């Protein structure tokens, strides 16, 4: 058995501690959302990872324990679409046993959530975030590009709530002239529901989504629009590094969030690391390259050696892409969001 590591909080070159780990369990997805996995690129001939390329559940859990030993307190399971990974409930059960882990969550497109919510909760998952870009069925079918209906995602959200995976957060990527006219409808639908809609600025993640700045709807515009209909007031962040700016309705109708990575970068407080399904660690959503942990796992490295590699990666981290974003950086090679889960 490899050596246990002591808890050593890690800080990078800007004093940001590692606290959050997002683990992608697959690069596959049953949607082809135009801003993430456009069908023109991720078509029938696209070469996805082979099964042997994926980290096993045992490898994921081993790395997770090492990360928790260095201060990670929150793990989020992502993809691709994580629920297409076979027996992912077993992974949840294994991760839930890790001492020191306080929050175990998942981001999903909701397509399989109605069938799996109860099993995920019983396995130890705390809560889910569901991606839903429009309540208009035609717009949603067009954006997911596989004609998947809104109603089945809404069924998944309600199944998650019934299972106790709460609060359910509902993420909407807002793209100008595509779904921006549905912001008020989204806010209205989830008022008084107990769920938390969060509106995300369209980002230049990866290199295949054809991002343009003029298609970004600033979070401030979204807040003004909702506030005019139902007055809002800001809510303090729960912790340093919380990516969403939170607001609540003054009439008690609940809460919303906005994620303003483009117009209001939050790099200075970023505490996130991202592990791809094939074991590459990315220190930024917009990173060009990863750091190979799979090679260490399969090369008989001890926990202490893997821990030392993690320390070297994080202590040398200086990523702050959203703060330096410009016309020169937008076209640079970046990892695709479908590989690291956003």
| Tens digits of residue pLDDT in 191-219 | 999 999 999 999 877 666 667 878 999 99
* Total residue count of the chain as it appears in this document: 342
Three-class secondary structure of residue 231 per DSSP: coil
The token pair at 187 is 């806010």
pTM: 0.93
The phi and psi torsions of 215 (rounded to 5 degrees) equal -95, 0
Closest by CA to 14, choosing from 321, 337, 285, is 321
Give the residue extent of every domain in the chain: 20-340
Q: How far apart are CA 153 and CA 83, in angstroms?
A: 13
pLDDT band at residue 4 under the 50/70/90 scheme:
very low
Q: How far apart are CA 138 and CA 152, in angstroms?
A: 14
Annotation: CATH topology of 20-340? TIM Barrel (3.20.20)
Q: How far apart are CA 215 and CA 284, in angstroms?
A: 23
Check pLDDT > 50 for residue 311.
Answer: yes
DSSP state of 288: S
Q: How far apart are CA 130 and CA 143, in angstroms?
A: 15
pLDDT for 3 equals: 40
């Amino acid at each position: 058995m490899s050596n246990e590591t002591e808890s050593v909080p890690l800080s990078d070159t800007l004093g940001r501690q590692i606290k959050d780990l997002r683990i992608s369990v697959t690069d596959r997805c049953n949607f082809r959302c135009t801003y993430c996995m456009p069908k023109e690129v991720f078509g029938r001939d696209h070469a996805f990872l082979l099964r042997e390329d994926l980290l096993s559940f045992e490898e994921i859990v081993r790395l997770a324990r090492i990360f928790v030993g260095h201060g990670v307190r929150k793990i989020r399971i992502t993809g691709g679409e994580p629920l297409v990974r076979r027996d992912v409930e077993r992974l949840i059960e294994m991760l839930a046993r890790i001492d020191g882990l306080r929050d175990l969550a998942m981001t999903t497109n909701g397509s399989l959530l109605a069938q799996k919510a109860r099993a995920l909760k019983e396995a130890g998952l705390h809560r889910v975030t569901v991606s839903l870009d429009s309540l208009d069925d035609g717009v949603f079918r067009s954006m997911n590009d596989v004609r998947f209906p809104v109603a089945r995602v809404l069924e998944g959200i309600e199944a998650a709530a019934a299972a106790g995976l709460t609060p359910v957060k509902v993420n909407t990527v807002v793209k100008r002239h595509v779904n921006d006219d549905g912001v008020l409808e989204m806010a209205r639908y989830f008022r008084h529901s107990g769920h938390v809609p969060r509106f995300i600025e369209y980002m230049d993640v990866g290199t295949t989504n054809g991002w343009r700045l003029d298609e970004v709807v600033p979070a401030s515009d979204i807040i003004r629009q909702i506030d005019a209909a139902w007055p809002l007031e800001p809510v303090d962040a729960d912790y340093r590094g919380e990516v969403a700016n939170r607001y609540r309705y003054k009439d008690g109708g609940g809460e919303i969030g906005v994620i303003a990575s483009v117009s209001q970068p939050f790099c200075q407080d970023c505490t996130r690391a991202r592990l791809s399904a094939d074991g590459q660690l990315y220190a930024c959503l917009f990173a060009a390259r990863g750091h190979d942990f799979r090679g260490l796992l399969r090369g008989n490295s001890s926990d202490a050696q893997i821990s030392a590699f993690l320390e070297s990666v994080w202590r040398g981290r200086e990523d702050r892409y959203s703060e330096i974003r410009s016309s020169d950086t937008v076209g640079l090679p970046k990892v695709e969001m479908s590989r690291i889960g956003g």
